[in-house]
Amino acid sequence: MTIKSNMMFLLFSVGLVAISLGIIGFKEKNKTTRYVITEKSHKTELMKQKNTSLLVGVSRAVCYSGFRSGQHPDRGNGAKNPSYEEILEDLNILSKDGNFKLIRLYDSKENSEMTLRAIKENNIDIKVMLGIWLDAELSAHETCAWLTEPIPEEKLAANRLENIKEIEKGIQLANKYKDIVVAVNVGNEALVDWNDHMVNVDTVISYVKKVKKAIKQPVTVADNYKWWADNGADLAREVDFLAIHVYPIWVGYDIDSGMIKTIDEVLEVQQAIPDKPIVISEAGWATIATEFGERASQEKQQQYYREIMDLARTKNITTFFFEAFDEDWKGNPNNPLGAEKHWGIFTVDRKPKLVMQELYPELL
C-alpha cells in the first residue's frame, strides 16, 4: 500500500471503531463539539414504546413556570404572579417555529389558569399536561433534611382541605380547556419521604380515582423514578401512564456518564412495571450550582438535552425537560448560585442559554 492508502485505511478503521462504540457526533455551524450518546448495546436495552405512548404524538416537551425575578408562588403570604402579558411573551418564545408544542404546568392555581387562558385566547400551538399540586398531609420531618420540626396537625388538616379544593379546580380547568389539556398530573414528588409535602399513597390513589371519574384526559402521578420502581405497583394500576423524574447530576454523575445513568433509571421502572407507558416528566441539567461544582455548565446542559431528546425520539418517550426558564425565587435566598435557581434553558431574563442560542439568535 502507498502512504496515502495506509492513511485512508487507518481513517476507515477508526471510523468503524467509533461506530461500533455508538459514538455519535453533532456538528453545528462553526462548531465541532462531539457528543457521546452512549453505547448502542446499552441503549437498546430500553424497550421502544408504541407511538400511542407519546402524549399527543410529541417526544420533546418542557416544564414551564412563569415566575420572574421578584415573583413567586404562595409561600404563606400570598403569591406574586406574572402578568398575562409576561405569560404570553413566554408562550410565544416557547412555541416559536413549533420548537415546543407541549408544556407541563405544576398546579391548577391562578398562574396556571392564566396560562391556559392565554393559549386559548391567542390560539397558540401548545398543549398542556396540567398539574394538581398536593401539599403535605403527613409530616416527613424525620426524613426530610429541611424540615427541622414536625408540621403541626392543624396545618396538615388545613392542607387536606386545600388539596381537595385544588383537585376540584384541576378538574374544572381540565374540562374547561379540554382542547388544550392533554393529561392531568395529581401530585408532584409527594410520595417520596425526603420531600416536605408528603401524602399517603392510598390517599393519592383515592385522588387519582376522583379525577379519572371527572375528566376524559389521561391521569398520572409524577414522582422520582426510584419510588415508582420500588413502591409504585399499586398506584400504577390506577394511572394511565407513569410520570417519572430522572436527575443523574443530583446523584453525583457527570455528563460523560449522565445519559447511561438516565437510561438505567428508566429501564429500572420499565422492568419493574412493564405494562404501563412511561413519560419522563422531569429531566434536566443545571448550568450553575454550588452543589455540583464543575459538573454544572451550559455546555453540559446542551449535551444532556441533545442526548435525552434523542432517546425520547428513538424510544417514543415523551420527555419534559426541566425547565424552560430559570427561577431565582427557588432555593436558599442567600445563595444566588444554588442549583434550584439555574435549571432553565433560558435565563430568568428570557435570554437563551447555549442549548437554545441557535434557535433564538434574536433574543441574544
- For the chain, which residues score pLDDT lower than 50? 1-41, 43-44
Position 170 scores a pLDDT of 98
Position 215 scores a pLDDT of 98
Position 8 scores a pLDDT of 41
pTM strictly above 0.75: yes
Position 323 scores a pLDDT of 98
* 165-169 contacts, C-beta under 8 A, 24 or more apart: 166/107, 166/108, 166/109, 166/132, 166/133, 166/134, 167/132, 167/207, 167/210, 167/211, 169/108, 169/109, 169/113, 169/132
- The structural domains of the chain, with segments of one domain joined by +, span 24-363
Give the distance between the most distant pair of CA atoms in the chain.
85
Position 76 scores a pLDDT of 77
- Inter-residue contact 338 to 291 (CB < 8 Å): yes
The dihedrals phi and psi of 128, each to the nearest 5 degrees, come to -135, 135
The helix or strand, by DSSP H or E, that contains position 79, with its residue range, turns out to be: none
Q: How far apart are CA 239 and CA 221, in angstroms?
A: 7
CA dihedral 313, 124, 298, 286 (to 10 degrees): -80
pLDDT one-digit tens code per residue, 26-55? 323 333 233 334 444 454 489 999 999 999
Position 42 scores a pLDDT of 52
Position 77 scores a pLDDT of 84
- CATH top class, domain 24-363: alpha beta
Positive or negative: CA dihedral 313, 277, 177, 113 = negative
**Cell numbers standing for residue 326:** 430559570
Please name which of 37, 80, 131 lies closest in space to residue 327, comparing C-alpha atoms: 80
